[in-house]
A and B are shown apart, each in its own frame.
Chain A
Amino acid sequence: QVQLVESGGGVVQPGGSLRLSCAASGFTFSSYGMHWVRQAPGKGLEWVAFIRYDGSNKYYADSVKGRFTISRDNSKNTLYLQMNSLRAEDTAVYYCAKESPSGYANDYWGQGTLVTVSS
């Protein structure tokens, strides 16, 4: 069955960096686009970034553009999110999510990894 397992979260100081990983299994990873979605404590979902199945195109929310980089290694079935210049408002649970076959929804989600930006 499809599994998405995020890792790499933790506590980081403002201005710091962190790299999240999402290990995928149970489907042909190289055939699907992948998303990062975050949820601040007690708040709603916020789309962060999307990468096409082959890594050819990447798209970002305005709130993270220029600071975050989404990437993937299809040989390792792994999705990444490099987060630089972190701010307090980046504190959230970060989910990776698989693109649905139709292309415009997320049919499988990981359990999330918590990132806390605090001094």
Chain B
Amino acid sequence: QSALTQPASVSGSPGQSITISCTGTSSDVGGYNYVSWYQQHPGKAPKLMIYDVSNRPSGVSNRFSGSKSGNTASLTISGLQAEDEADYYCSSYTISDTLSFVFGTGTKVTVL
């Protein structure tokens, strides 16, 4: 159950687009279309932004989009806004000897 690998930090100017990667293995990210993404502001609970690789829950801005290629999933934030500054975590369903879930290492997004 090793954590998925994310870049420690990503930054961008308001209005720009940024992409956060999430790299796993064929046992997790690459094996299932069950990658989700969470946004967490300091001192707050995580918020679901993307589920099942590319689906947005009701109420989440369409500036957030998800995709996957092989063992790497990605979250793209377009039209970056100040309120997007937060930590972002990916997560994947996985089965090794038993069902489990694994989170990514987390990415701090800074709006310049």
Q: A100 at the A/B interface (Cβ < 8 Å)? A: yes
Considering the chains assembled together, what is the distance between the CA atoms of A23 and B77 in angstroms?
34
The docked-state distance in angstroms from the alpha carbon of A62 to that of B94 is: 13
| Residues of B within 8 A of A (CB-CB), count | 27
Whole-angstrom CA separation of A105 from B91 in the bound complex: 8
B58 (CB) vs chain A CBs: closest residue: A107
Query: Contact partner of B47 among A35, A47, A109, A112, CB < 8 A?
Result: A109
Q: Is there contact, CB below 8 Å, between B52 and A102? A: yes
Nearest to A98 among chain B residues (CB) is B48
Instruction: With CB as the reference atom, state the residue of chain A lying closest to B98.
Output: A59
B108 to chain A, nearest CB (A): 11
Q: Find out whether the CB atom of A61 lies under 8 angstroms from the CB atom of B100.
A: yes
Task: Tell which of B47, B93, B98, B105 touches A44, judged by Cβ atoms closer than 8 Å.
Answer: B105
Residues of B contacting A: mostly: strand
Q: Residue B64 at the A interface, CB < 8 A?
A: no
User: Within the complex, which residue of B51, B103, B106 is in contact with A47, where a contact is CB–CB below 8 Å?
Assistant: B103
Report the bound CA distance from A61 to B3 in whole Å.
Answer: 12
In angstroms, Cα B15 to Cα A63, docked, is 41
Task: Tell me the complex Cα distance, A62–B97, Å.
Answer: 11
Q: Given A44-B89, A111-B45, A112-B45, are A59 and B52 neighbors across the interface (CB < 8 Å)?
A: no
In the complex with contacts A104-B36, A109-B46, A112-B45, A45-B103 CB distance below 8 A = yes
A60-75 contacts to B, CB under 8 A, are 60-63
Q: List 15 A-B contacts (CB under 8 A).
A: A44-B3, A44-B104, A44-B105, A45-B40, A45-B91, A47-B100, A47-B101, A50-B99, A61-B1, A95-B46, A104-B32, A104-B52, A105-B52, A106-B91, A109-B47
